[in-house]
Structure 1
Amino acid sequence: MNTDLSKRLEEAKRRADLNYFIYLNENAPAELEAVKRAGRCGALCGLVVAVKDNIEVAGMPITNGAPYMRRMADRTAPVVRRLIAEGAVVIGKTNMHELALGATNINPHYGPTRNPHDPSRITGGSSGGSAGAVAIGVADLGVGTDTGGSVRIPAALCGVVGYKPPYGKIPTEGVLPLAQSLDHVGFITRTVKELVHILSAAGWGPAELPQMKRFRFAVLMGVAENTKHVDKAFWKAVSVLESIGGIRDEVFIDAGKYGAARAAILLSEAAANYYHYLRSAAEHMGRDVAALLSAGAALPAVAYITAKRVKEEATRFFESLFKKYDVVVTPTTAAEALAIEEAGKLDVRGRLLAYTELFNLTGHPAISVPAPASDLPVGLQIAARDEDVLLSIAKAYEEAL
């Protein structure tokens, strides 16, 4: 048996109060030993992976954060299969916001996931269980989904790294859809260095990153009103970027129409995907999820078509921005982790999603890395057109910290 994996399982059970797992794979140590004996352990041998419970892993249950959808998976999603092929092992399926339609991870069926830095507060979501499992060291890698920030938001609030690759790069086969125009598979790690190694080993990234001794970056202004705690940490992070060769400009944008467009696309497509459940199981849904799906079902076709045109406009705008700047930066969220009892209101969504949703709309790669913050974690979001440039700058920033 793999002693380290056994210890990880025991730690997951010991920290069950944080509520990160819906299912734990008790066979994980034996599975890893079998792979080692067969001589099939590759570049990620022994990597412990926590998989969000809207992603299929054969032989394990999948719920999508909703017990009325629970079934046993008979296939493994290609993203997970690729990791397993290199020797990674799945330790379990993680708690999430119901149907992935939310940013708090307050799940009425499985309970809220609790922030590792303050259990009275949220992890953020909808990949909150995966972020929490990485933050406490139970998993080396969290695999999640990101439709408006669902990897980057919990990474920021839990003090770890959350990466959304470019739209379409990581296959979404075997992943339950929320909104196909916006859905991304993403990754959560403790450090950028670990993320880069995993991407390279799995064939999703280069063996070496370019060296960015000088680069231009834009700070996006006017997107949201930040808390003082977030602002303080964010501008410290900006100073670190300047210290490693970054030349800063501040660019004001009117992001309101972009947020409205992403919401219209999300709600329309989510309502289409889950209309059957809205009709047959609405009484079993959380109130927030039922309300959002109902709103999506009521949206006229003209709102959806107009939103898709705004999506194209936003993509063109950021493409033009990336011709001038190597990266753009923002806080990942406008607020730090909220208390669980305060976070269940629909109006909280804007404070968590305002910055991250921009790059689901455009499809550009974006990463959340920890900003220098005392007390509760704060995330710095970096986005780019070129994935290798993005990861290079994020890695250099991490090393400077």
Structure 2
Amino acid sequence: MQAANVFISTADPASLPEGPGRARVAVKDLLDVEGMVTTGGGRILPSVPAARDAAVVARVRAAGAVFVGKTHLDEFAFDVTGDNAHYGPLAHPLDPARIPGGSSGGSAVAVALGLCDWAIGTDTAGSVRIPAALCGLAGVKPTAGLVPTAGVFPLSRTLDTVGPIARDVATAARALRTMADLPSCPPPARPPRLAVPAGWVDGLDDAAARMWEAVSAGLPEIPFPAWERFMGPFQHIVYAEAAAQHKRWLDTRPGDYGPGTLANLRAGLAVGAVDYLAALSERTRLAGEVDRALDGVDALLLPATCCVAPLRTDGDVRERLGRFTSPFSVTGHPAVVVPAPDPGPLPLGVQLVSRRGSDASLLQVAEHLERAWQRD
């Protein structure tokens, strides 16, 4: 595919320090990078270079990384398709007629095309995990709060997380260790205990169904809160918090938003305080229920998406892409997408979820599965 719209802006090659072993990192254009303008994928924010790095960018820079550019995203991260009314559509790296997913689609495509070693994305509903899965990459949504969000333009302050996208889990794990202070975790002494949430997996396309049958064979099902219960709290929290963030511009500059983003933000204005507060309470209840359901399990296994990368003409695919990812954004649990084994013409991903704060051990489980699938 053409790489022209992967980057919203690129670093000056003359400013890039050289040195062996220095990771080339791309940054979603929702995070501040000193000396570069942060657009958020929109036309609202001031066209003024950032005075300082976002906290996580500063950590990565201190570790010796070289930043190669700011990547394409859905406007203000409020979608999962990779289409942007201001900067154009983003094409899938294997088939330009298909979408790569979003909102961190530019970060995923940059990795898939070899334009960087790994990339930073944000994930509020699956925005790291969805494009990672559709592009055949590894992606990590850490436990909420593990990676600092200072200097990241918010979509939902409650649910926003920052995580890496890489070609494989080992690289993603190294990236997350650079981005956050992960506790040490000894190698597992036994194979991981995996399970599937009862009643969750249906509505898959043919390719996803074949993949899921192969990777889930023999795994036990465990009782789990129905996935539909997570949708109401997710929508009320994200839409209300996004609308609050943009309220001053919605009042004064509505014409500067793309139509889809404007509709989403206006829907957020209609969320009442009672519904918003009830959603926060339900979020707490659901998080506790998920913790209890995961007792005795090292990781929950799920498809990352219901389908391979959709055609751009497929209409509204948001539910098919985000059904399995947004619940764990609501609860704050860590999740890792591993490229599925034996991919067909288009890749798919498998999502692993574990208890809050168990990011290091979850990544070890993900690496274990990736190695096992590569040997088979």
State the partner residue of 1:256. 228
User: Could you say which structure has the higher strand fraction?
Assistant: 1
- The farther-off stretch of 178-187 and 278-287 is 278-287
Matched letter for residue 342 of structure 1: D
Does the C-alpha gap of structure 1 residues 279 and 170 become closer, same or farther in structure 2, counting only changes over 3 Å? same
- The farther-off stretch of 384-393 and 229-238 is 229-238
- The farther-off stretch of 133-142 and 209-218 is 209-218
> Unpaired runs of 5+ in structure 2?
none
Matches within 5 A, 1:202-213: 204-205=181-182, 209-211=186-188, 213=190
Matched letter for residue 274 of structure 2: V
Contact in 1 for aligned 2:56/2:179 (Cα 8 Å): no
1:359 to 325, 328, 334: 328
User: Structure 1: how far apart are the matches of 2:308 and 2:281?
Assistant: 32
Contact in 2 for aligned 1:64/1:70 (Cα 8 Å): no
User: Structure 2: how far apart are the matches of 1:381 and 1:142?
Assistant: 19
Contact in 2 for aligned 1:135/1:190 (Cα 8 Å): yes
1:216-263 deviation digits (Å, cap 9, x = unpaired):
222124335221211211232235xx7xxxx53354542212111111
Contact in 1 for aligned 2:41/2:74 (Cα 8 Å): yes
1:32 to 2, 17, 23: 17
The runs of 4+ residues in structure 1 deviating greater than 6 Å are: none
Matched letter for residue 322 of structure 2: L
State the partner residue of 2:206. 228
Q: CA deviation at 1:295?
A: 0.8
Matched, 1:275 2:247: yes
Q: 3-state DSSP class of the match of 1:267?
A: helix
Contact in 1 for aligned 2:82/2:90 (Cα 8 Å): yes
1:277-315 deviation digits (Å, cap 9, x = unpaired):
222222232222111111110111111111111101110
1:363-386 deviation digits (Å, cap 9, x = unpaired):
111011111221111110000012
Matched, 1:58 2:45: no
User: Structure 1: how far apart are the matches of 2:353 and 2:2?
Assistant: 34
State the partner residue of 2:347. 377
User: Structure 1: how far apart are the matches of 2:89 and 2:46?
Assistant: 18
Matched letter for residue 174 of structure 1: G
Matched letter for residue 381 of structure 1: Q
- The farther-off stretch of 295-304 and 216-225 is 216-225
Does the C-alpha gap of structure 1 residues 85 and 307 become closer, same or farther in structure 2, counting only changes over 3 Å? same
Does the C-alpha gap of structure 1 residues 307 and 389 become closer, same or farther in structure 2, counting only changes over 3 Å? same
Q: CA deviation at 1:333?
A: 1.0
State the partner residue of 2:62. 85
Matched, 1:162 2:152: no
Q: CA deviation at 1:199?
A: 3.2
User: Structure 2: how far apart are the matches of 1:80 and 1:396?
Assistant: 29
Does the C-alpha gap of structure 1 residues 337 and 179 become closer, same or farther in structure 2, counting only changes over 3 Å? same
Matched letter for residue 128 of structure 1: G
Q: 3-state DSSP class of the match of 2:238?
A: helix
1:318-370 deviation digits (Å, cap 9, x = unpaired):
11012131111111111221112334x3xx22111111011111111101111
Contact in 1 for aligned 2:104/2:121 (Cα 8 Å): yes
Q: 3-state DSSP class of the match of 2:96?
A: strand
Contact in 1 for aligned 2:225/2:286 (Cα 8 Å): no
Q: CA deviation at 1:136?
A: 1.1
Contact in 2 for aligned 1:236/1:371 (Cα 8 Å): no
Matched letter for residue 16 of structure 2: E
Please give the root-mean-square deviation of Cα atoms over the aligned residues, in Å. Answer: 1.9
Q: CA deviation at 1:47?
A: 0.3
Q: 3-state DSSP class of the match of 1:64?
A: coil
State the partner residue of 1:349. 318
Matched, 1:148 2:128: no
2:3 to 16, 21, 37: 16
Q: 3-state DSSP class of the match of 1:91?
A: strand
Q: 3-state DSSP class of the match of 1:293?
A: helix
Matched letter for residue 352 of structure 2: I
State the partner residue of 1:305. 277
- The farther-off stretch of 48-57 and 199-208 is 199-208
Matched, 1:399 2:371: yes
Matched, 1:120 2:97: yes
TM-score (norm 1): 0.87
Matched letter for residue 276 of structure 1: R
TM-score (norm 2): 0.93
> Unpaired runs of 5+ in structure 1?
1-13
User: Structure 1: how far apart are the matches of 2:346 and 2:232?
Assistant: 29
- The farther-off stretch of 166-175 and 279-288 is 279-288
User: Structure 2: how far apart are the matches of 1:253 and 1:203?
Assistant: 30
Contact in 2 for aligned 1:212/1:393 (Cα 8 Å): no
Contact in 2 for aligned 1:86/1:202 (Cα 8 Å): no
User: Structure 1: how far apart are the matches of 2:92 and 2:248?
Assistant: 33
State the partner residue of 1:215. 192
Contact in 2 for aligned 1:212/1:389 (Cα 8 Å): no
How many residues are treated as equivalent by the alignment? 368
